[in-house]
Structure 1
Amino acid sequence: MTPNEQQPLLGIPAPPVFPDEVPDAEAATQPPANETKALTWTSAYILVVSRVIGSGIFATPGSIVKSAGSVGLSLVVWGVGTVLAACGLAVSLEYGCMLPRSGGDKVYLEYTYPRPRFLASTLIAVQAVVLGFTASNCIVFAKYTLFAVNIHPTELQHKLLALGLLTVVTVMHGFFLRTGIWVQNVLGWLKIFLVGAIALTGIWVILVRPPSETDASSGGSRERGVFTWDSLWGDSNWSWNLLSTSLFKVIYSYAGLSNLNNVLNEVRNPVRTLKTVGPAALATAGGLYFLANVSYFLVLPLDEIKSSGELVAALLFERLFGNQVGRTLLPLAIAISAAGNVMVVTFALARVNQEIARQGFLPWSTVLASSRPFGAPLGGLLVHYIPSVLVIALPPQGDVYNFILDVEGYPGQFFSLAVTLGLLLLRYKEPDLPRPFKAWLPAVWLRVLISFVLLASPFFPPAGGQGDVGFFYATYAIVGTGVIVFGVLYWYVWTVLLPRWGGYQLEEEKTVAEDGAIHRRLIRVYE
């Protein structure tokens, strides 16, 4: 090939434009004109709420109580996590109203940090591929299903059932697209119903059941006055390390509040809808989560909650309704709810992986970016399936679920910090950029502060030198940081070393498709 000859790499959808490209930057701040696939307010609300409410409220309260030690401190952790979720939502609202395009954090990081070139895109891609697995809800599905049928499984049985669910979901989304969408919508409504049922259980206990019906023989919480002041704070554990991991779990339970930011191109009146859907979803989830925790504390003994692992919701219904209903039907319904979350996340992440492939950040991009032959992103599903299988199959059983949540959450704090600081940077660099919603400045700085605290706290040793999952206390932070470092190394090799050795530069060439969508081709420009 002669010098200066251009070699096309791949036709890809346009990544978010950079501020120094004035026409594109102006276009990026405008809502999409095409409303043929518009989502109404109600559809957008369900999209966010059904994504937020997953297995977290069914599985994490037990480990949070175990780490916090007391009812009062556990509720404080949930309250602080809710406030932090609100701060993060405020940042997402300002960004989404300012740049009302699909893509979420990927759009915001690329727009705010255009230099070094491709670094923000590469880090987002690495996180999506390496940590974009759906292992935790598969594990919850396996645990609740086997609990419901009263089987005491071996580790191999647990893993086989979790892997079986992942495989069925992948096949369904890859080969039976419309059926998969219908099933995940039905299961999404089931999730909302289940959390509502758990949340109302505590009220039912207080208003309907007389105290004598509470299982006093097993030390029921009402008989022990768990909400008296002394009992509320007894045995509190103020270790920064354990509290920070508990906060990660609460924040994970709110993951998805900014889900609408990822699909704004499909939303009718995106700015107005975004400004109202997010707060409504936060209020819904926050209220249900608080009432669900109160229900656990009213019905179950505190020691039983601490030792419940991921089965706290199943124990709640067993205590209230007996073995037949409590131990079988409702835990099975919770398992189905976890399966619904696996379907939703797999559906979304497969398309994220497909877009990453279209941008040239994955090997064999042409194959992985294709939607043939069934109109589904089989390549993206495969990229999602492989790391999920490894995470389920390789780690030992036990507290693996909590460790997975910690590893998933820690690198996200780096991106949260970068997005939040980027918001302040854009206010300084582009003060005239239209901002239909502006986050309260103390909330922005609070999110910055908490991000720093959560990034540092895992490295402060708790009592005994072990975390809440039995590993070295900073293991999940080291693994999470390693993912970020790997992303930086991958970016350096792909965009610096290989072009230097090959005598070319990576450039972008814009094209406009027949439907009006802007695409980019990555090309090698040889010197």
Structure 2
Amino acid sequence: METDPLVARDDASSKHHQPRNLGVLSASSLIFNKMIGTGVFSTPSLIYASTGSLGISLILWILGGIFSLTGISVYLEFGLAIPKSGGEYHYLQRVYRKPQFLISCIFLTQMILVGFSSGNCLAFGQYLLFALGSQEPSDWNSRLIALAVLTLVCLLHAFKPAWGTRLGDILGVVKIGVLVLIIAGGIAALRMKDLPGLQNFEHFFANDGFGGSLYDYSVALLNIIYSYKGWENANYVLSEVHNPSRTLSIAGPLAVGATTILYVAVNLAYFAAIPKADIASSGVIVAGLFFRNVFGLTFGQRILPMLILLSNLGNILAVSFAQARVNQELGREGLLPYSDFWASTTNGSPAAGLLLHWIVSAIVLIAPPPGPAYQFIIDLYAYPGAWINVLVGAGLIYLHLHSVVEQWGAQYTDSVHFHSHDIINFVFLASNLFVVIVPFIPPPSSTVLAPGYPYYLVPLVGSLTLLLGVPYWFWLKSRIVHP
């Protein structure tokens, strides 16, 4: 049997490995904190405006959860066979072996260049200023707050890693509490005479006179899939997960299943408390309308931003925690210049990996001019990851078709194995192909997006970002030391 040099070689940097001390709660929190961001507080209006039907909107939210569960299944098989930090790096290298290291360089460019926390940090700054009474937060004030919170989070993870993990666990519970509060408010709204209540559920699946085209449905589903993004987060830190077979098998499905139920229930709460016309026109403040209608003006305009602010903080903690481990793993594999430095561990934490994450995120925060240029960069955050998922899904299908997975026990690990069903793998692949192809389809009414950029610019630049891995590979391949 051919030996994979990336796996069979001695891990010379094993001295950098952190202890496996992340249990089910911490792994679940990593997933919760990345999945539950601002999406469920802002996108339901867009989904309803696109579909024109509350019932169809709800079905699409359920589909988003199903697609995420297929992703969990695919990543469980890879993760339990290769229980190492780095996530897709190891999975892609297992499948796409020739040319050697090319796929690793493509993954590296995606993780380094667009694996930033800038979007959530900026949202933190905007919501903090709004909660403090600023109706039109200054762009640079928001950025300075964003840079400060990014710095504090990275310092916390670097010098007090146990505190960072504990705070992430707490914020994961807080996020669930916020969603439960919304659900409880929705139940209360059914008994309030001045709110729509059950009236919105009449003719639930009928079109209300707008949206409903195939393109509208595709845009709605695309935004929902992005709202579920983050289900793979625990796979990036598996070297620190205690008993990966048990922990990931519980944490992954638990987090995604619970998030799906919460998302559906929260949307039902919105439907019960907000008139249809207001849902369609509310944009990103749909949650604000909900809290104002149910709990009053003060709570909706002051307390809600603070709750969403905590949600953003949880995202920043989860993304920076996982991203630093991926950066460290890339250093261990010799794929970064000065790899020993990036692979190092300080105070039980990948401080150098956190520094790299801080540098990229800070540049993205500071460099772009105000206006649509910044929004373009934020929109670019999620797209390349869908291409990586396509490669992972296609890779697992290939391994199944060639019965290669039977070799995993001997070559990779003696852990308990998990087999993802072929139908699930095909659904995962199809859903991600949908995500990468739809943005290239011209809108029926206009070819220019609201910020002034062509509709195809984000998917085009996102795809080209991955291709930057090719020239990087040409530069790096002569520097790789083969065993």
One-letter amino acid matched to 1:195: L
| 2:456 paired residue number | 474
Compute the displacement of 1:25 (Å): 6.2
* Matching of residues 151-300 of structure 1 within 5 Å: 151-152=134-135, 153-206=137-190, 209-210=191-192, 212-214=193-195, 221-222=196-197, 225-229=199-203, 232-238=206-212, 243-300=217-274
| 2:440 paired residue number | 459
> Secondary structure of 2:229's match?
coil
CA distance in 1, matches of 2:188, 2:30: 29
CA distance in 1, matches of 2:380, 2:225: 13
| 2:413 paired residue number | none
> Secondary structure of 1:508's match?
coil
| 1:391 paired residue number | 364
| 1:128 paired residue number | 111
Compute the displacement of 1:71 (Å): 2.7
**Is the CA contact (8 Å cut-off) linking 1:467 and 1:474 kept in structure 2?**
no
The TM-score, its normalising length taken from structure 1, stands at 0.79
Q: 1:22 to 1:164 in 2, by over 3 A?
A: closer
1:343 aligns with 2:325: no
Per-residue Cα deviation, 1:235-269 (whole angstroms, up to 9, x for no partner): 44345555444434322332332333333344444
Per-residue Cα deviation, 1:367-386 (whole angstroms, up to 9, x for no partner): 444445x5544432232123
**Is the CA contact (8 Å cut-off) linking 1:48 and 1:278 kept in structure 2?**
yes
Q: 1:143 to 1:354 in 2, by over 3 A?
A: same
* Larger Rg, first or second structure (1 or 2): 1
| 2:76 paired residue number | 93
Q: Report the more deviating stretch, 97-106 or 282-291.
A: 97-106
Q: 1:166 to 1:21 in 2, by over 3 A?
A: closer
**Is the CA contact (8 Å cut-off) linking 2:87 and 2:236 kept in structure 1?**
yes
Bigger share in strand:
1
CA distance in 1, matches of 2:304, 2:330: 39
Compute the displacement of 1:187 (Å): 2.4
Q: 1:385 to 1:431 in 2, by over 3 A?
A: closer
Question: How many residues matched?
Answer: 467
Compute the displacement of 1:193 (Å): 1.2
Per-residue Cα deviation, 1:312-336 (whole angstroms, up to 9, x for no partner): 3233212211122222123212212
**Is the CA contact (8 Å cut-off) linking 1:315 and 1:327 kept in structure 2?**
no
CA distance in 2, matches of 1:287, 1:141: 26
CA distance in 2, matches of 1:271, 1:288: 26
Compute the displacement of 1:47 (Å): 4.0
**Is the CA contact (8 Å cut-off) linking 2:35 and 2:229 kept in structure 1?**
yes
**Is the CA contact (8 Å cut-off) linking 1:241 and 1:459 kept in structure 2?**
no
**Is the CA contact (8 Å cut-off) linking 1:39 and 1:268 kept in structure 2?**
yes
**Is the CA contact (8 Å cut-off) linking 1:109 and 1:120 kept in structure 2?**
yes
CA distance in 2, matches of 1:298, 1:398: 34
Compute the displacement of 1:396 (Å): 3.7
One-letter amino acid matched to 2:274: L
| 1:14 paired residue number | none
Percent same amino acid among aligned pairs? 34
| 2:419 paired residue number | 438
CA distance in 1, matches of 2:482, 2:241: 28
Per-residue Cα deviation, 1:448-488 (whole angstroms, up to 9, x for no partner): 22333322221211122234655321121012111111122
CA distance in 1, matches of 2:22, 2:342: 28
CA distance in 2, matches of 1:101, 1:368: 17
One-letter amino acid matched to 2:389: S
Q: 1:283 to 1:36 in 2, by over 3 A?
A: same
> Secondary structure of 1:388's match?
helix
| 1:7 paired residue number | none
Paired residue for 2:389, among 406, 409, 416? 416
CA distance in 1, matches of 2:44, 2:363: 26
One-letter amino acid matched to 2:104: S
CA distance in 1, matches of 2:296, 2:327: 45
CA distance in 2, matches of 1:479, 1:90: 30
CA distance in 1, matches of 2:180, 2:377: 26
**Is the CA contact (8 Å cut-off) linking 1:244 and 1:458 kept in structure 2?**
no
1:382 aligns with 2:363: no
CA distance in 1, matches of 2:348, 2:216: 45
Contiguous gaps of at least 5 residues in structure 1: 1-17, 29-33, 215-220, 500-504, 510-527
**Is the CA contact (8 Å cut-off) linking 2:27 and 2:251 kept in structure 1?**
yes
| 2:288 paired residue number | 314
Per-residue Cα deviation, 1:179-218 (whole angstroms, up to 9, x for no partner): 4344333323222211221233222222xx33x232xxxx
**Is the CA contact (8 Å cut-off) linking 2:185 and 2:269 kept in structure 1?**
yes
